[in-house]
Amino acid sequence: MSGIVEGRVVIVTGAARGIGRGHALEFARQGAKVVVNDLGAEVDGTGSSGAAAEVVAEIEAMGGQAVVNGEDVSDFDGAERLVRAAIDRFGGLDVLVNNAGILRDRMLVNMTADEWDAVIRVHLRGTFAPLRHAAAYWRSKAKAGERVDARIINTTSSSGIYGNPGQGNYGAAKAGIAGLTIIAARELERYGVTVNAVAPAALTRMTANLMPAGATGADPDDIAPLVVWLSSAEARGITGRVFNVRGGRISVAEGWHAGPEVDKGSRWDPAELGSVIPSLVEKAAPNALTNGRIPGRED
């Protein structure tokens, strides 16, 4: 098979279903060798299934190369074994797509510590651990004088970068992933590694209760083209960016930046700020809605 990522070795975590499955299949269509990583768990992280093997079978049926991997990406040593599995099976690693995740939605006043920890562990630690081991591998190659042209694609969410009530644990993890993406991009650029993230909107098992009935343009397979392109040689100059993507719509998420400012030139007295802070807030753009649009600028 040939395509935009022909011959590249790719790890996709959470690749058994939904968006991750779409990634794995599109990578294969475009000529990549794919490590299909998934525990096969339910949306809340419990249970298991053989869905990853079904994805591998689909890839092999179309003439592609793929292998199942069942490591827990939130386990530091397991993430190292995942990276090593790609190298041992296919001779190297070019792309890491961090997609694995679970949901345990709850309003803050009802959320348990276990519900918080489980989601933070899978999403945030489960992005850090594979990223860390892949980065170490590419750094060693670069320091040995080998040419590196590698990619990391993380998965954030509008719930994290814009906010969504009832998803404090998930949103905090996804906001952390967006921040980690920018930091990792700056750290790894010198080694020939780009790091970007996508904030996908799609109708999957994880979002079925969040999307309006009859939602259109929300096919999970629609996310893969952007992820695959970001993994290609053509995307070498793109790093440290977060992209919103839903259906055929792609936009660049513009992160926190300094807005209206006042500088007294010395330490403030708290009593002085009552006439200062409201004025600054009034001049500032309002926070984006969950869809990423600034109120009053939705068009």
> C-alpha distances in angstroms, 174 versus 25, 201, 217, 274?
24, 14, 22, 34
What residue type is assigned to position 194 of the chain?
T
Structure tokens at 278: 């409201």
- Among residues 157, 159, 231, 232, the one annotated as catalytic is 157
Q: Would you tell me how many other CB atoms lie within 10 Å of the CB of residue 8? A: 25
Tokens 């933070």 correspond to what residue?
120
**Number of helical H runs and strand E runs in the chain:** 9, 8
Active site residue 157: yes
Residue 170 annotated among the catalytic residues of the structure: yes
Q: Which of 137, 170, 231, 232 is catalytic?
A: 170
Q: Which listed residue (162, 174, 231, 232) is catalytic?
A: 174
Q: Report the distance separating Cα 177 and Cα 182, nearest Å.
A: 9
Q: What are phi and psi of 184, to 5 degrees?
A: -60, -35
Q: Is residue 138 classed as helix, strand or coil in its secondary structure?
A: helix
User: Which residues contact residue 177 at a Cβ distance below 8 angstroms, ignoring those fewer than 6 apart?
Assistant: 98, 123, 124, 127, 154, 155, 156, 160, 197
Sign of CA dihedral 222, 225, 231, 236: negative
Annotated active-site positions, please? 157, 170, 174
